Chain A
């Protein structure tokens, strides 16, 4: 027989689990399909040929690695991520530093910059698809003609397609980088700046030796978020180039989609998805370690 006190104690102990129960049920509903998918990645699941369903161990993974397109898709995934992160963080830092200065109408610019950030990425892609029409009616080619650039075949040529995906992704995500870094700049302590000024440091030296080191936790954070999302970019590519031309913009995510929803080879598509997941996890883990080090060194 339990005393009232222990009963009370037991109830206290069970309470957090009761509170969590609804969320845990939903969570289980998410983890279960993922586990199922993981299992499918070791099978020859082909939607149109249910009879061929067999457990094939690592065959899907081995097949993928030997696929010539896989190497190209991996290369594009990594290359695109590197380019996107460098361009977006570089420009985003420039915009943040610019807006950190006393600029007239700063709050208006800041508010307007939220708009590209918060509209659906696929809508962003469609907007640019209209502007990047390769005919002479395309406004972007028309504007570029004033600065002496010949009409670009945006989605039809290899370089044009890669450039267009990068431009569209940058338009949508530059505000994310700029706003986080601007927030970081505004939160920086003022003493190091006074000290540097007393020492006679110029603006370039202050940026290099004071601002950037202090800002490093924020820089690593935006690099982390942008890397994770660039590795998995899907919407923009799907709505514009669909991975073409000649698979020039096919990344691992698009390739997994093609396997599973164009050819209905669910096993192979799932194996591809797991490879992509592992890539994201490994890269993020490395960046998170960097983040921990950056936040420790500044605090």
Chain B
């Protein structure tokens, strides 16, 4: 081998080395950017007030579960703070409202999606447009009149009122998603069922629903997650008895002070169901977030 060829070989392996280092560096950067906030908040939630304020910030310390205990029993609240976040109640509220909202949307959404997927009728296009157009409206345009209406009819600060308001989040989404899953079922299967004497209900109950069960589960889980994330509707329409975790977590910021440790613990608890669920439905999240525009 000539010396020229050797140096060429060396240059090539050097280039490959630089490339690998760059890839490793970029990977680490991306991972740190994505994961570090979670790690840091988890650490913060395990710190005692003294460790919290230490300069420089501590990575190694004696962990304490005081902040989580305070979330559960409501102790350790600020000395001057008049508010006392009741986190177990907020968690329960989030569950009730999210499950209620998704259940209502699925019950109303399945027949509607079936109609949109399998029938042609006048105004079908207009209806599809109306459903889609909810995606454009700033929440405040709904929440102002809802606030006034709810005060008048007694839905303000009730689970039922919030479940109804959350239909703005879940109903168009549910119908749109279910329709896209229903449309994936080949028409031939439906026709065969009809020939075998199935009515429209039989087709829905015995063909469409069983075949799209995975799609329905995905829709339910994603709908639940969107409800869990909701913040601005309950901020205005809920009161202390009906706050979900998202509004509850912000209660740790009071006029006098911010309860950093408890807020960190609250954010971990509020994010936890989402972390678990998003890994369960990871293949479908993009589809859900674009209402079926990207599969």
Contact = CB atoms under 8 A, between A and B. Distances in A.
Interface residues of B, number: 86
A189 B60 CA distance: 50
B144 A266 contact: yes
Interface stretch (A67-75, A79-87, A198-206, A228-236): A228-236
B104 interface: yes
B232 A221 contact: no
B139 A135 contact: no
B240 to A, nearest CB: 16
B141 A22 contact: no
A143 B230 CA distance: 32
A115 B294 contact: no
B286 A119 contact: no
B112 A22 contact: yes
A196 interface: no
Given A30-B167, A121-B229, A121-B231, A127 B294 contact: no
Interface in B114-167: 114-116, 119, 121, 124, 127, 130-131, 134-142, 144-149, 164, 167
B145 A33 contact: yes
The A contact surface, by secondary structure, is: helix
A263 interface: no
B121 A137 contact: no
Contacts, number: 240
Residues of A in contact with B, size category: 35 or more
Contacts of A234: 138-140, 232
A114 B279 contact: yes
Contact of B40 (A104, A131, A228): A131
B138 A115 contact: no
A19 B52 contact: no
B263 interface: yes
A115 B149 contact: no
B231 A20 contact: no
Interface stretch (A57-65, A158-166, A175-183, A207-215): A175-183
A116 B267 CA distance: 12
Interface in A217-264: 218, 221, 225, 228, 232, 234-235, 238-239, 253, 256-257, 260-261
Interface string A87-130: 00000000100100101110001111111111111110011101
Contacts of B53: 135, 137
B289 interface: yes
A137 B278 contact: no
A118 B149 contact: no
A30 B138 contact: no
B260 A130 contact: yes
B167 A277 contact: no
A4 interface: no
B282 A111 contact: yes
A34 B167 contact: no
Interface string A18-59: 111011111101110110110010000101000000000000
A184 B141 CA distance: 34
Interface string B222-259: 00010011111001100000000110011000000000
Contacts of A218: 294
B186 interface: no
Contacts of A273: 138, 140-141, 144
B293 A221 contact: yes
24 contacts: A16-B124, A19-B114, A20-B116, A30-B168, A40-B144, A98-B30, A109-B31, A109-B34, A111-B282, A115-B38, A117-B278, A118-B225, A119-B271, A119-B275, A120-B246, A120-B270, A126-B266, A127-B267, A128-B37, A130-B40, A137-B57, A228-B136, A239-B250, A253-B140
Interface of A: 13, 15-20, 22-27, 29-31, 33-34, 36-37, 40, 45, 47, 95, 98, 101, 103-105, 109-123, 126-128, 130-131, 133, 135-139, 142, 171, 175-176, 179-180, 183-184, 218, 221, 225, 228, 232, 234-235, 238-239, 253, 256-257, 260-261, 266, 269-270, 272-274, 276-277, 280-281, 284
Interface of B: 23, 26-27, 30-31, 33-35, 37-38, 40-41, 44, 52-57, 104, 107-109, 111-112, 114-116, 119, 121, 124, 127, 130-131, 134-142, 144-149, 164, 167-168, 171, 175, 200, 225, 228-232, 235-236, 245-246, 249-250, 260, 263-264, 266-267, 270-271, 274-275, 277-279, 282, 285-286, 289-290, 293-294
